[in-house]
Amino acid sequence: MNIKESIVTKNPCYTCGRTITVQGLMLHSVGCPQPKASVFFNNWNKGNANVCVHAVLQADGTVLQLLPWNRRAWHCGSGKNGSGNNTHIGVEMTEPDTIKYAGGGSFKDLNPTATKDFVKKTYKTAVELFAYLCKKYNLNPEKDGVIISHSEGHKRGIASNHGDVEHIWNKYGFTMAQFRKDVKKAMSGSTAGTTEQVGGKKQEETTGTSGYLVKITADVLNVRKGPGTNYPVSTQVHAGEVYTIVGEKMNGSTKWGKLKSGAGYISLSYTKKV
């Protein structure tokens, strides 16, 4: 899995700045034969777009993050018990161009082998992303209502009446019950994210004596390929996130810390030891 930040800075879900306390994760499937996440970025990075999800993921392991994880997105509408938009992060899986929709959630599969392979790969990307987010927000993936599909959200009365993700998963043998188990399993292994989020006791123990934890104090902090501002930026980290530092290097009067994830170095001036 490779999270690429591509924030929709023109979308009202971003510009209005409203945030949520993340209590769960909702999985969607785009409902059209479109394998590319960038198409959704283009659709939603507009001032007049009235919906947006937090991320769209691809079969190749790419996760295009469109909104900060705690922004209030508009991904599931609402139901008789309110709206999952106020509690759940919304993630869309792309779909292969080997299917053709025939109205509603039914479709014709033009190449069953390729379709199944694609669905299997987006499933895997989703498992890795949800494991990463469960760790980040201390969520238990098997607790009732924490990880749900859009259609399960509808049954619980917190989402509009859509059939995803089961409309496509059912045909290829994937289920939400198994998905939740796989997320749990992935949480105990090491996830291959671009940035490593370390929160909670469990992770702390696995860092051993070779590293220490710091909390980011700057709103946004660049992660650089080397210990200095002359090195290219590889990704960014954000206020409140906690990372493991496994090495230190001085550059002038600034001390730089090497991230355990391998993403690069951050200036320790904008961190606090925890």
Residues that bind Zn ion (CB under 5 A): 28, 150, 162, 164
Q: Three-class SS of residue 248?
A: strand
- Give the residue with the Cβ less far from Zn ion, 32 or 110: 32
In the complex, the smallest distance separating the C-beta of residue 28 from Zn ion, rounded to whole angstroms, is 3
User: Please, which residues have CB within 8 angstroms of residue 61's CB and are 6 or more apart in sequence?
Assistant: 1, 2, 121, 124, 125, 128
Minimum CB–partner distance for residue 205 and Zn ion (Å) = 38
The answer to whether 110 touches 100, Cβ cutoff 8 Å, is yes
For residue 226, which amino acid is it? G
User: In terms of DSSP bridges, do strands 99-101 and 233-238 run parallel, antiparallel, or are they unpaired?
Assistant: unpaired
Minimum distance, C-beta of residue 150 to Zn ion, in the bound complex (Å):
3
Min dist. Cβ of residue 65 to Zn ion (A): 18
Angle at 246 between CA 264 and CA 243, to 5 degrees: 70
Burial 108-147 (b: 16+ CB within 10 A, else e): ebeeeeebbebbebbbbbbbbbbbbbbbbbebebeeeebb
Which of 164, 182 has the CB closer to Zn ion? 164
Cβ-in-10-Å burial (0-12, 13-18, 19+) of 253 comes to exposed
Q: CB of residue 67 vs Zn ion: minimum separation in angstroms?
A: 16
Q: How far is the CB of 54 from Zn ion (least distance, A)?
A: 13
Of 155, 156, 147, nearest in space to 179 by CA:
147
| Helices within the chain (DSSP H only) | 12-15, 38-44, 112-136, 150-155, 166-172, 176-188, 200-206
Q: Which is nearer to Zn ion, 163 or 228 (CB)?
A: 163
Q: Which is nearer to Zn ion, 11 or 85 (CB)?
A: 85
C-beta of 166: minimal distance to Zn ion in Å? 11
CA atoms of 219 and 38, how far apart (whole Å): 26
**Cβ proximity to Zn ion, 33 vs 226, nearer residue:** 33
Of the pair 152, 196, the CB lying nearest Zn ion is at 152
Nearer to Zn ion (CB atom), residue 28 or residue 260: 28
